[in-house]
Structure 1
Amino acid sequence: MTTEPTGDGSVEGVGPAIDEAVAMLDTLGDLEVAQHPPVFEAVHRVLRDQLAGSSGTRG
């Protein structure tokens, strides 16, 4: 799989799980700072699982 920068800071071709994890980060602005850790943990879990290949196939 190849990745291509889009010019707006995002990267195309990383897969839907990674896209969803990045989208979770976009919600931080709507949350109190005390609510950020669960979001960071969820994003970390997705990224870790993708790197480990635990979802069967990456992306």
Structure 2
Amino acid sequence: MTVPLPGPPASPRPADPRGVDPRPAVEAALAALDELAGRPPAEHVEAFERVHAALGDALAAGSA
């Protein structure tokens, strides 16, 4: 039987050994969606496209 050690919970995903952590870019991209609440629907498509591109870039950076 293994007894857990006290302390903070382990990170759900370990940091990339190459030093590339895509999480800040993902958080920034998702935060941009919060700005849509007060914007006209006509502007949503462009915002979604920017967020989609930013998430794709973060994914590529994290797996490079």
Q: For structure 1, which runs of at least 5 residues remain unmatched after alignment?
A: 4-12
Higher RCO (CA < 8 A, seq sep 6+): 2
Identity of aligned residues (%): 38
TM-score (norm. length: structure 2) = 0.59
The structure 1 residue matched to 2:50, chosen from 28, 42, 45, is 42
TM-score (norm. length: structure 1) = 0.63
RMSD: 2.3
Which is strand-richer, 1 or 2? 1
Q: Which has the larger radius of gyration?
A: 2
Q: 4+ residue stretches of structure 1 with deviation over 3 A?
A: none
Describe the superposition over 1:9-57 as per-residue Cα deviations: whole angstroms up to 9, x where unpaired: xxxx96111011110111110100001011101100011111222xxxx
Q: For structure 2, which runs of at least 5 residues remain unmatched after alignment?
A: 1-11, 15-20
Paired position in structure 2 for 1:15: 23
